[in-house]
Amino acid sequence: MIKDLSNVDDDVFIHDDVYFKINPELGKHIAIDKGVYCTVNVSIGSYTHISPYVTMIGGNNGFFECKGFNNIMAGARIICSSDRFDGSGLFGAMIPHSLKGRQITEKVVMEEFSNIGTNSIVLPGSILRKGVLLSAGSLLMGDTEEWGVYKGNPAVLVKKINGDKIIENAKKLKDVEQLHYGD
């Protein structure tokens, strides 16, 4: 559910069973599949696909940004805010603020061409640099290196790829779009 569809382009597909607590900022050429659930501020760049049953959570102060040419595969979890579990107070969504312990709330960013694999988890403050792949079932905590493939729990760099062909093809796609749409 998006409360205001007036700024959504015709080439953006959003399944009826999608929930955004806060209206997202949306680029062009986006597909958001069934069961996506988002409680944070979100900016989704052009040429992004969000597969079924992805969650982006962390409340009104959380922020998640996809800069474009991104894929988030089925069942992935992006967490923008979490309890610290450090003995500073009670924890959980139903605890009054005056009794609540410390939380960590930090922006999660996916730079262009980065991808999150099926059933992966991304924790607050994580940055997927340009071209990063977080492999299926991995847990990302923190920063990454451009064009790196990360795998495991916690995710570690397992190899680097050359992104030249990816960038070249994205430029061709943008040039074709310019010819057809004048954008």
- 3-state secondary structure (DSSP) of residue 49: strand
**9 pLDDT more than 90:** no
d(CA 162, CA 41): 32
**1 pLDDT more than 60:** no
Predicted local distance difference test score (pLDDT) of residue 174: 83
When mean pLDDT is compared across 10-19, 89-98, 172-181, the lowest value belongs to 172-181
- Quick: pLDDT tens for 104-157: 999 999 999 999 999 999 999 999 999 999 999 999 999 999 999 999 999 999
- Take residue 98 and report the two structure tokens written for it: 């005056």
Q: What is the pTM of this model?
A: 0.91
**5 pLDDT more than 90:** no
- 3-state secondary structure (DSSP) of residue 97: helix
Predicted local distance difference test score (pLDDT) of residue 6: 56
- Quick: pLDDT tens for 119-129: 999 999 999 99
d(CA 124, CA 78): 8
Predicted local distance difference test score (pLDDT) of residue 62: 95
d(CA 16, CA 1): 7
- Give, as one character, the DSSP assignment of residue 98: G
Q: Is the model more confident about 20 or about 6?
A: 20
Predicted local distance difference test score (pLDDT) of residue 97: 86
Taking the CA atoms of the chain, what radius of gyration do you get in angstroms?
17
**3 pLDDT more than 80:** no
d(CA 178, CA 15): 27
Confidence of residue 38 (pLDDT cuts 50, 70, 90): very high
Predicted local distance difference test score (pLDDT) of residue 78: 98
- Quick: pLDDT tens for 42-94: 999 999 999 999 999 998 999 999 999 999 999 999 999 998 889 899 988 88
